[in-house]
């Protein structure tokens, strides 16, 4: 099935691992020109060595100067950005709200929320000039529900959905589509690190900690498939939406 993504210029933040890497590989398979942006140079090097046709560049999404330079460099090289997948995200800490470390709050909000805002701002400058483009932001099922023990993460992902919906309304008259994807638990290194923290989880019985109705977790490729749908020609009347890929979690 042709998704209309052949030769499209696609940037993916957090593109060297997890959902981001699966997304870069998926775009490459359908003939897009994928550029992986990530702060981990070793992971970027592995991706470049193992995936033909992928460009890579280091990026710290919390730095406005770094974001602007990276996006400008892609446009200078390719002439445009057709699709931007803002996927970089982290989790930090697990425990009672009143025990949350301020440094954990700052780190999570800086990457997960400010980082997406900075990337969207840089991308939309170029898309606005061309009156064309698609943005997909990685939110989370935690952006649609509460999740005890990770208030900072939940706040950041609710914020991503708010940014997505607001920007979608602003840019819809220009034909620029902006959507979010909301995965549940995904089998990635970040989920593994969260599982380690759960050894002392005071909320182990919470619904969000349990396997999702369909099965325990998604594969990263399954989330990437949802991103391809939102980026391609099968979703041309979709904007301001949140696509849940959560095995039925938010249906409960």
Annotated catalytic residues are 153
Return the structure tokens found at 183.
Answer: 């995965």
CB 153 within 8 A of CB 203: no
79 SS3 class: coil
For 119, 170, 197, 203, the CA distances from 126, given in Å and listed in that order, are 11, 15, 40, 44
Burial 86-97 (b: 16+ CB within 10 A, else e): bbbbbbbbbbee
The gap from C-alpha 102 to its chain's centroid, in whole angstroms, comes to 24
Q: How far is Cα 191 from Cα 150, in angstroms, rounded to an integer?
A: 13
Q: How far is Cα 96 from Cα 202, in angstroms, rounded to an integer?
A: 8
248 SS3 class: coil
The gap from C-alpha 203 to its chain's centroid, in whole angstroms, comes to 26
Q: Given the structure tokens 């042709």, which residue do they identify?
A: 2
- Beta-strand runs (E) in 77-225: 83-86, 134-138, 177-183
Q: Given the structure tokens 């969260």, which residue do they identify?
A: 194
Q: How far is Cα 105 from Cα 94, in angstroms, rounded to an integer?
A: 11
């Amino acid at each position: 099935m042709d998704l209309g993504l052949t030769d499209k210029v696609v940037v993916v933040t957090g593109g060297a691992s997890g959902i981001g890497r699966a997304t870069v590989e998926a775009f490459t398979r359908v003939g897009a020109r994928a550029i992986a942006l990530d702060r981990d140079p070793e992971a970027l090097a592995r991706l470049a060595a193992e995936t033909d046709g992928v460009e890579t560049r280091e990026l710290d999404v919390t730095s406005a100067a770094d974001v602007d330079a990276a996006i400008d460099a892609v446009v200078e090289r390719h002439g445009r950005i057709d699709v931007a997948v803002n996927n970089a995200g982290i989790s930090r800490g697990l425990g009672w709200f009143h025990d949350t470390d301020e440094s954990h709050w700052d780190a999570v909000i800086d990457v997960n929320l400010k980082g997406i805002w900075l990337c969207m701002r840089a991308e939309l400058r170029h898309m606005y000039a061309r009156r064309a483009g698609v943005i997909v932001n990685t939110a989370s099922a935690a952006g649609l529900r509460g999740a005890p023990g990770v208030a900072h993460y939940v706040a950041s992902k609710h914020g991503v959905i708010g940014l997505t919906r607001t920007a979608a309304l602003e840019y819809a008259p220009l034909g620029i589509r902006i959507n979010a994807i909301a995965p549940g638990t995904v089998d990635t290194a970040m989920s593994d690190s969260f599982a380690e923290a759960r050894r002392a989880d005071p909320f182990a019985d919470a619904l969000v900690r349990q396997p999702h109705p369909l099965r325990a977790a998604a594969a990263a490729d399954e989330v990437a498939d949802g991103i391809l749908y939102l980026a391609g020609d099968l979703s041309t009347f979709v904007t301001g939406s949140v696509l849940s890929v959560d095995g039925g979690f938010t249906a409960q």
